[in-house]
A = this chain, B = another copy of it.
C-alpha cells in the first residue's frame, strides 16, 4: 500500500544529527559566556494566553501569531451571528492561546508574575524557539530559535559595557573574529532630530535612517522630505552625520559640536562615554566596537544604548542586536523596570560558520570509536572492550549485526566516527585488537587497555 510521503509544515525544519551537533556547539558556546557573566537560565511555556501576546507586536505582529484552537467543543461560545461576522471577529471565541512570538514579552510576563520573589538586578538568558506565521523564504522560518540575555532592574551602564564584552567574547570563541559591533544611543538620535530643528520626530528619523545600509543616503533623504515631512533645510544638516568617520573619541567630539544645542543628545553622548569608560576599566578590547551615529534599529522601545553586530567577511545581515529599554513590564502594569538586553540570531550564525568553514572538528564529532561485528566470535570477543571504553568516558558503539566489512566501514564513515576496532582470528589469538584511524588510515594492533588509554587522550 503506497502512502504519500509525510512532510513537515511550511517554514519548519527537522534538525538531523549533524545540524544538531553544530547548533549545540553554537548554543553551548553562547550559553557558557552568558553564564560566566552571571546570567541565569529561564524557560517559559510554548503557549501563552493571547491576552499576554496580543497588542505587543503591532497589528502586523498580531496577525503573525499562531493561535491554538480551544480544547473540546471550541465552537460552544460561537453564535450564528459571530460566524457571519467572519474570521477576525470569531477568533477570540475559538482561541485563547497562541505560540510564543519572541522571548521578550514572555520574559516581561515572568518578571511581573514573580516580581516579589526575584532578586534584582535580575540577569536572565533564554534560548528557545519562537513562531511567526510569516511567509517563509530563504533564511526566514516560521519556527526559529532566539537566544536572549537581559538584565532588568538596574540602569547601570556597566551592563552595556558587559554586553559589548559578551558579544565580543562569544564571537571570538566561535572564531568569528572579523566582526564589527556597532553601538549608538537612542538619545543621540533624539538629539539629532532636535539639532536639525525637527524636535520630537526622532521616530520618523529612525525609521528612515534604519534603511541607510539598504537604500543609501539620497533615498533616505527623499523619504524624510517627501514622506515624513522633514524640511530640506533639516535634511541638509544631516550631511556630517552620514559622513561621520574617525576613532570613537573623534566621533564623540564631532557629535558634541553637532549636538551642542540638545540636552538629551549630550546626555546620550555622556552615556556612550561612560560605557567606554567601563569597558576600558574592565580591560575589554573595544577594537571591534564602532560608535555608529546612524545605527537606529527599527524598534521604538529602545531608550538608551542600541547594539548591532555584523560579520565583515560573510554575506549576512546583522547576527546580533539589542538595546536598553526603560519600561519592559509597563504593558503588564509594573512600571519603572529598566533593562538592557540583546540576542544572537542562531540561524544566521549557523550559516556564517558554514560559509566561513569555522566549525571545529570536535563540534561534529559523534561516536569516537566503532567496534566491528563480522561474526559471533569476534563480536563476543569485542563486547567487554565496548563497555570498558564507555566506562572510561569514551563514546563507543558496536555494529549490532554481523555484516560485511565494507558496509560497516561505510557506516563508520558516514557517521563521522574517528576510530574503528577490528577483531579477526589473528587479533583474537594474540589477545589484541586492531585499531584503525579512519582519517589517516593507520592501523595498529593493541591490547584493550592500550586502546582505552590511547582514545582517552
Contacts and interface: CB of A to CB of B under 8 A. Distances in A.
Contacts of A47: 9, 12, 66, 131, 143
A345 interface: no
B99 A87 contact: no
B282 A386 contact: yes
Interface residues of A, number: 105
Main secondary structure of the interface of A (DSSP, over half): mixed
A121 B373 CA distance: 13
Interface in A96-138: 96-97, 99, 109-110, 112-114, 119, 121, 123-124, 129, 131, 133
B86 A75 contact: yes
A84 B416 CA distance: 58
A296 interface: no
B49 A282 contact: no
A438 interface: no
Interface stretch (A178-186, A223-231, A388-396): A388-396
A21 B4 CA distance: 43
B16 A114 contact: yes
Oligomeric state, in copies: 2
B41 A158 contact: no
A367 B38 contact: yes
A406 interface: no
Contacts of A397: 37-38, 123
Interface stretch (A202-210, A318-326, A407-415): A407-415
A455 to B, nearest CB: 12
A390 B37 contact: yes
A384 interface: yes
A97 B282 CA distance: 50
A332 interface: yes
Contacts of A214: none
A97 to B, nearest CB: 5
Given A41-B20, A42-B15, A143-B47, A119 B415 contact: yes
Interface in A217-235: none
Contacts of A95: 69
A44 B14 contact: yes
A91 B380 CA distance: 56
B110 A14 contact: yes
Contact of A36 (B283, B393, B401): B393
A454 interface: no
A159 interface: yes
Given A42-B15, A156-B400, A384-B281, A49 B333 contact: no
21 contacts: A2-B333, A3-B332, A5-B113, A6-B113, A8-B45, A12-B45, A14-B43, A15-B42, A38-B395, A40-B366, A46-B99, A46-B131, A47-B143, A66-B69, A73-B87, A75-B90, A123-B397, A156-B401, A278-B383, A283-B387, A283-B388
Top 9 nearest A-B pairs by Cβ distance? A38-B397, A3-B333, A156-B400, A17-B40, A12-B45, A20-B41, A71-B133, A281-B383, A38-B367
Given A5-B333, A7-B113, A75-B90, 11 more contacts: A6-B52, A6-B332, A8-B49, A9-B48, A14-B45, A36-B395, A36-B396, A37-B397, A75-B83, A121-B401, A281-B384
